[in-house]
Structure 1
Amino acid sequence: MSHSQLDQLKQFTAVVADTGDFESMKEYEPQDATTNPSLILQAVGQEEYRHLVDQAVSELRDSPAEGRVEAIIDRILILFGIEILKIVPGRVSTEVDARLSFDTEGTIAKARQLIGAYEQEGISRDRILIKIASTWEGIRAAEILEKEGIHCNLTLLFSFPQAVACAEAGVKLISPFVGRILDWYKASTGKEYHGEDDPGVQSVREIYTYYKKFDYPTEVMGASFRNTGQITSLAGCDLLTISPKLLEELQNSTEPLDRALSPDAAREADVEKTSFDEKSFRLALNEDAMATEKTAEGIRKFSADIVKLEKLVASML
C-alpha cells in the first residue's frame, strides 16, 4: 500500500497543525499545534468553542474592572492551550499580544504571566512556546526569556536578518512565513511562482541552510502555506505548520515525496557567517521592502484581531 504524502512527510519533518480547531488536530495527529489571535478569533465564533469563552468570562467576571478584559483574553488563550495539549503529544504556541511587538519589557512580563498561568494548571513550560513577532524588541525579549527556560516561537519572520538575529539570541524556534512572502512577490511583480522558484520557499531554504551549516540549535518551522507544492519543496525542514485544508490534500495524495532539505547537504553549502547589531539589523530589514511591509502588516492584523476579541468579551460582560 502506498503511503500518503502526509505520512511520508512525517518521516523527516515534524508536522504541526496551524489551527484553533480541535477536531482537525485529532484527525491529522500532528506533533505540535500553533495558534494566533486570528485563529482563536475564528474558533471563538464557533458554537463548539463557546464554552471556553463562557468559562473564562464566568471565572473572571468579578475581577477588578481595570484589566478585566485583558485577563479574560489571557484566560481564553490558556484554556485553548490546555485543550490542545490534551490532543497533541508535543507543544502548543501561545501568542503574546501583538500590540507589545515594540515593547521588550511588556513582552517579557506577558510571557512570564502566560507561562505562570500554564504552570498553575500543572503544565510544564517545556510544552509551551511563547509566540513573539520578529521585531528587534521581540528578539531581545526572547533572548532574556530563553535564559529563564521560557521557550519562544519567533513569528512574522520574513527575512534572513530576522532569522540570524533570532539564532544569535538563542531562540528555540522560528516561523518563517512562506505564503505571505509569495503573496507579496505575486502582487508586486504580477508573476506566478512554482516549486524551487517560489521566493517564500527560497527564503526558508536559505535560513535552514545557514542554521545547519553553523550548528545553530534554533528550530526552523515553515509557516503560512498557500499550496502543497510549497510544503513538498521544504520536506525535511525541522517542522512545518500546516492548515487543515492542506493537511487534507497531503493526506489524500500518494505521490512520492522526496526529502528536499537535509543537515548534511546544508553543511556542504558555501555560505558566509554574518551577524547583526541593532543598527545593521534595522538597516538590513529596511532594505528589504517585502519583509518590512509584511512584518508591519502582520502586527497590524494580529493587533486588530485582539481588539475584536476584546470587543466580543466586553459585550459578554
Structure 2
Amino acid sequence: MMDKLSQLRAMTAVVADTGDINAIRQFTPLDATTNPSLLLKAAQQAEYQPLIEEAIAWAAAQSGSNEEQTALCCDRLAVKIGYEILQIVPGRISTEVDARLSFDTQATLTRARRIMDLYTQMGVAPERVLIKVASTWEGIKAAEILEREGVHCNLTLLFSFAQARACADAGVTLISPFVGRILDWHLQNTSATSFAPDEDPGVQSVRRIYHFYKEHGFDTTVMGASFRNTGQIEALAGCDSLTISPDLLAQLAEDRGELTRALTPQSASGNSVRALGESDFRFQHNDDAMAHEKLGEGIRKFVLDQIALEDQIKARAQQGVPA
C-alpha cells in the first residue's frame, strides 16, 4: 500500500509549511508557505546567508531612513527566499505582509504592491505568488482590492466562521484556517485534555467552512494550516489544500496505513447568502472568544518574530556585508 502522504496527494493539494529549502526538495510539495516565524528560522541556515547579504546590500543602496531600509531589506529577503523556493515547487509561494500593518488597509496595500513589484523584477509571474494578509477586517478589505488588481491573496490567522464568510465575500483566492491553534485554545480553556480527530474543534471549524463554501459555490480555496498531529490532517483529507510542516510530512510519508477521504466537494446549491457587513463581522468574530484571542495572539507573535528578524539584519548590516 502507498504511504499516506502519497494517498493524500491524490485527493488534496499538499503544501509545505516551511522556508527550509532542503525540506521542500525532500517532499516536493505543490506550493509552499512562509511567514515571519519561518523566515526567522530560515535566516539561521547557512544556505540563506548569501541571500541575507544580497538583501542588505540592495536595501543600503535604496533611499530612505535606516528603518525604511530595514523594511525594504526584509521584503527583499522574503522575496529572494520565495524566488528560491519557486525554483523547486511547481506552484505558488505565499509571502506575508508585515503583521504590524494588520489593521491598516492602505499600508497593507502599499506593502503588498511593493512585494509584488519585487517578484516582478525577478521575473516571477503574478499567478505564482500569494500575498499573505492577516484576516482582520482591514486585511480582508485590502485583499479585496488586491484581488481586483490581479494580485492573489492568502488570508491567514483565520479562526472564526465570520472571517471565512468575509473572505469569501471579498473573493480572495485562498484562506488558511488554523487547526492546531484552535485546538490549543480549547485544551487551555476547557476541561478537555484531548480530542479524537473527528471531535477536534480545529478540524470541525475547517469542515464547517469547507462545506459552506462548497454549498454556496464560493471559489475561495480552503487550505487547512497549523497542524499539531497527523490525525488532524487525516481528518481533513480531501480538503482543497493543506499546508503541512516537514515533521508531519515525514510522519505521513512513513505511514503505510490506509487513508480514507474525509471531505468531498458537493454540488453548489446556488443559494446566495447575504454578504457580511463590517458591524456583523466585528460582532460575530469578537463573540467567539477563541477566535478573538487567537487572532490577536497570532498577530503579536508574528510581530515579535518580524522584529527579531529585523534586529538580526541590523546587527549584520552594522558588522558590514561583503560587496
* TM-score, structure 1 normalization: 0.96
Count the aligned residue pairs.
313
Amino acid at match of 2:4: Q
Aligned to 1:236: 238
Counterpart of 2:169 in structure 1 is 168
Partner of 2:160: 159
* Paired letter, 2:211: T
2:280 aligned with 1:280, yes or no?
yes
Alignment of 1:102-117 (within 5 A): 102-117=103-118
Name the structure 2 match of 1:222.
Answer: 224
Q: Aligned-pair distance for 1:275?
A: 3.5
State the 1:134 CA deviation.
0.2
Aligned to 1:20: 19
Deviations 1:256-276 (A, max 9, x none): 011100113x758xx994531
Equivalent residue number for residue 196 of structure 1:
198
Q: Structure 1 stretches of 5 or more lacking a match? A: none
Q: Where does structure 1 differ by over 3 angstroms across 4 or more consecutive aligned residues?
A: 271-275
Give the secondary structure class of the aligned counterpart of 1:263.
coil
Residue 29 (1) aligns with residue 33 (2): no
- 2:87 counterpart SS class: helix
Report 1:38-77 matches (<5 A): 38-66=37-65, 67-77=68-78
Give the secondary structure class of the aligned counterpart of 2:39: helix
Q: Give the Å deviation of 1:59.
A: 2.3
Give distance in 1, aligned partners of 2:304 and 2:99: 9
Work out whether 1:124 is the aligned partner of 2:125. Answer: yes
Q: Which runs of 5+ in 2 are unaligned?
A: 318-323
2-structure distance, mates of 1:183, 1:30:
26
Mapped to 1, the partners of 2:140 and 2:245 lie a distance apart of 26
1:8-47 superposed Cα distances (whole Å, 9 cap, x missing partner): 0000100000001001111111000000000000110122
Percent of aligned positions with the same letter in both sequences? 54
Q: Which residue of 1 aligns with 2:178?
A: 177
What letter is aligned with 1:204? Answer: V
CA contact (8 A) 1:213 1:267 kept: yes
What amino acid does structure 2 have at the position aligned with 1:313?
I
Q: Please, what TM-score do these two structures have when normalized by structure 2?
A: 0.95
Matched, 1:291 2:291: yes
Aligned-partner Cα distance in 2 for 1:46–1:65: 29
Q: Root-mean-square deviation (CA), in Å?
A: 1.3
Instruction: Report the CA distance between 1:151 and its aligned residue.
Output: 0.3
CA contact (8 A) 2:216 2:272 kept: no
